Structure 1
């Protein structure tokens, strides 16, 4: 019996498992990338003022700013798709899904930033947390609602045949036409 609202079937299970594997692989890659020590002669001070780093990036010119801001947006963006895929719900509030995904991404980004405090050459940058979270939100909005709608349509097309097969396997429900309803 399929639980209401979850993706059903063996293909959907494969999607959820593949999403989980891809999520673990992506998080391992991000941890490797962001928690490696840097061999630098000096380290910039920590940035705890929101948008100060983004303003500094914009002062470097449009090309360099696009590169640096794009890196911040793209680092955790796959989580916007992978987290809902692992969860596997088709019938869920779009706003609730977006908020839960954004909150999870912000917490993961904050965890990475806090772990970076113990890594030589790395410093905390509050703008990276903001950019990472915005990247996840953009990826979620771009992919998840459309893919859920597609999966719901496919599920509706497959469900009537599954109900008919279930009825055929168990037989028809017996009815007694002359029995009244008890009070």
Structure 2
């Protein structure tokens, strides 16, 4: 089945990046606390909609601010608990949130574009088939992560990337997570 030509049956999985896709990215910095965590317009509604469409929904996020010591794992966990609660209160769900605290220079298996977080999700949910999965992200590492695992790569360009050329690495491009939800609803 082709995700774009056929209506998926619900057996598809959605992987999402966090910063710049679900919430505002802090240019040159990190979302260090719940007070700095600001959902992008329409993102919460999109997450709720996705729960009716995808069999599984995962968030996979590089969080090297933990490795740099500018925030703690507990800070990240508070942000993720809040996000899951907000989605749940509106009738949606997020099946798992995985993050990698390693520095980019460490080349850790958990850090995108390496497959560690997707493999962790598959260990917890063995029915996940990467060939029937979609990855929506805003960086080249997200798109390479998707490509290398055989997922459909979707580029969410909420802000123009200055230092990365993502052309040729994605199947479709959307200006927001909300626009992706609208695209799916209209199919």
With normalisation by structure 2, the TM-score equals: 0.23
The structure that is strand-richer by fraction is: 2
The structure that is helix-richer by fraction is: 1
Q: Which has the higher contact order (CA 8 A, sep 6+)?
A: 1
- Decide which structure has the larger Cα Rg and report it: 1
